[in-house]
Structure 1
């Protein structure tokens, strides 16, 4: 068996137009033709529950000075195992710290991730190199705008698109730590702006309306890359802005539906086990649920072609 491969491409590497990345996308397992994954019936039944919990491991990144918005490897691993076979192709349009690529490497899936920031592509690469796995899959980190992904990959090759995108302008403001307890409110994150960048292409500097418009444009170009009935999962929370609830999950559902995706499932990520030292706020006059304790996993697919089953 060959060692799993990881590679890096920069936006200056002439990977445009006809210079498509050569990525394998056919399943390498022996599962039956109509199976959408390699799960056993018992594993399938567990996945049917609509509320999921995940746990961090030692390889996970939790330091927000390294990346302000991370998630445990176990999250994309579960989604990858649910919606793909070994050997198939996964795309992460906003790869960030590279967690999706690590999960793909763990599960012997091919994967390509994209990010505007070179430092996050480097971070993804360093994490992939730490995995001493031997398999035939390949994971690639690409420094480029998600709007250009269509130039890198062939149509109908991806079985899954998974990402946790920038959350509009949620991080583009001073952090107040209102959900923190006691002295934790004045920790090193207090009044810090954790937004990734001020790059004009970055979705993290946009208000909700423009954010939804840009998400629609990006995902419109991603849809042809998915196989028919291939899944697309978006991890997103809602947020509060000037005492108003901003329903990002509804904006994303509307945006993706408008460009041809079909919503199949909404799963709740129960984050209570990974949230520490929660404080009280709003009491006694303004009840607000603790937004950090849950997020949405929005599961779409590319509808099957007319006449197919």
Structure 2
């Protein structure tokens, strides 16, 4: 693991390109797979991954404590995406790294990885999780204290094989919890009435109304697009939510944002969360049918179109 402070405070030891000092991190394959393979999977494993509904379990290394981070996904989810869309040695980037799950999964999979976050407490959490591993790999996993809008200052064009993240959910966590998805006495837990937000930083996408959030996501991913290799994938995990009896379709906002700046949507995968949800409260009965958003989330799989040029991506 390479610890990195903001660029103005530390010489990264990377490669200069114009006014940029890029990170010193690999992005080429270390495996011997044929050139036309997009991953190191065998046919049997590939077949299982074609199912459009995925289910995962948390394990002892996962972060479940919302006091440490309000929204996390399991290491097994990140690992599946990394295995599916990269080869050993290639570069994975998480623009909103949070608790560092993407970096931990990349280390397990012998992939290079860089994660960006605005909050020092999350960078510290990433470093702590990475330091607990005893794996010896040929790769680096680097948490960076920086805005996702500045990723192009750290990495060169066509270096990223996978961008994977669970971004802020617009301002939908920026409100007091009512625990309506919990049943009976379970509602009155330590989360009741709390605002479980990443931060109140003015740069945080998690304080933005949906329309502003959509524009900010488009800006982040527009600058990220030239950094992706042609046909490199970009996977974004988001739920939809209910707010004042209205379904807020975050997944549609994200699709529209990325399409508007040149990405092609390739797959929509459902993360089936029923195995980790229990004692659900009753919503809407008996007059208003509402599906339980906590039981599933979306994994939106985009790629950089193979014919996209750098000039087109910057328009």
Report TM bin, short chain.
over 0.9
| Length-normalised TM-score, structure 1 | 0.96
Match of 2:195 among 193, 204, 210: 193
- Superposed displacement of residue 306, structure 1: 6.5
Which consecutive residues of structure 2, in runs of 5 or more, have no partner in the other structure?
A: 310-315
In structure 2, C-alpha distance between the alignment counterparts of 1:226 and 1:148, rounded to whole Å: 15
- Deviation string 1:39-96 (CA, Å, 9 cap, x unpaired) is 0100000000000001111100101011000111000100000000000000000000
Q: Which residue of 2 aligns with 1:8?
A: 4
Q: Is the 8 A contact 1:112 1:142 kept in 2?
A: yes
Moved over 6 A (4+): none
Aligned residues: 303
Which moves more between the two structures, 129-138 or 273-282? 273-282
- Superposed displacement of residue 105, structure 1: 0.1
Q: Is the 8 A contact 1:6 1:128 kept in 2?
A: no
Q: Which residue of 2 aligns with 1:129?
A: 131
- Superposed displacement of residue 12, structure 1: 4.2
Q: Which residue of 1 aligns with 2:209?
A: 207
Match of 1:51 among 50, 53, 68: 53
Task: Please list, as runs of the form range in 1=range in 2, the aligned pairs for 1:10-89 lying within 5 A after superposition.
Answer: 10=6, 12-14=8-10, 17-89=19-91
Matched, 1:93 2:95: yes
In structure 2, C-alpha distance between the alignment counterparts of 1:183 and 1:11, rounded to whole Å: 49
Q: Is the 8 A contact 1:168 1:208 kept in 2?
A: yes
From the superposition, tell whether residues 156 and 306 of structure 1 become closer, same or farther in structure 2 (CA, over 3 Å).
Answer: closer
Which moves more between the two structures, 264-273 or 11-20? 11-20
Match of 2:142 among 133, 140, 143: 140
- Superposed displacement of residue 9, structure 1: 2.5
- Deviation string 1:214-270 (CA, Å, 9 cap, x unpaired) is 000000000000000000000000111111101110110010000000000000000
Which consecutive residues of structure 1, in runs of 5 or more, have no partner in the other structure?
A: none
Q: Which residue of 2 aligns with 1:104?
A: 106
In structure 1, C-alpha distance between the alignment counterparts of 2:181 and 2:229, rounded to whole Å: 41
From the superposition, tell whether residues 250 and 306 of structure 1 become closer, same or farther in structure 2 (CA, over 3 Å).
Answer: closer
Match of 1:116 among 115, 118, 125: 118
Matched, 1:236 2:232: no
- Superposed displacement of residue 271, structure 1: 0.4
In structure 2, C-alpha distance between the alignment counterparts of 1:65 and 1:239, rounded to whole Å: 21
Q: Secondary structure at the match of 1:8?
A: coil
- Superposed displacement of residue 22, structure 1: 1.3
- Superposed displacement of residue 11, structure 1: 5.3
Aligned-residue Cα RMSD (Å) equals 1.3
| Length-normalised TM-score, structure 2 | 0.94
